[in-house]
Amino acid sequence: MPTAHVNAVVRLTHDVSDLWLGRGDVGVVQSIWLSPANCYEVEFCKSGQPAVRALLDADLFELVEPAPFSVGREEEAAKHE
């Protein structure tokens, strides 16, 4: 499995019930912590809710292939026309 990096898009493979996050939720890696153990700070944004950040072990998520950046830009531009 490839290693996650800052700005990587990830999907939860397990529930994190303490933070109301569920399997399948998608987030973005914000930072990587190396001590005392490797973990990843991941930010999750659900529509209409405040962002949630969680420190996660790598076994709680998988990397997601992001859509090309230009697709999002085109959709956003179309909203403002």
| pLDDT tens per residue, range 64-73 | 976 555 444 4
Does any domain span residue 65? yes
The predicted structure's pLDDT at residue 48: 87
4 located within any domain: no
d(CA 35, CA 28): 20
Number of domains in the chain: 1
Report how far residue 16's alpha carbon sits from residue 27's, in angstroms, rounded to the nearest whole number.
13
- Rg over alpha carbons for the chain, rounded to the nearest Å, is 14
- Confirm whether 37 is domain-assigned: yes
Q: pLDDT tens digits for 1-55?
A: 567 899 999 999 999 999 999 999 999 999 999 887 889 999 999 888 899 999 9
- CATH number for 72: 2.30.30
Domain enclosing residue 48, as ranges: 9-79
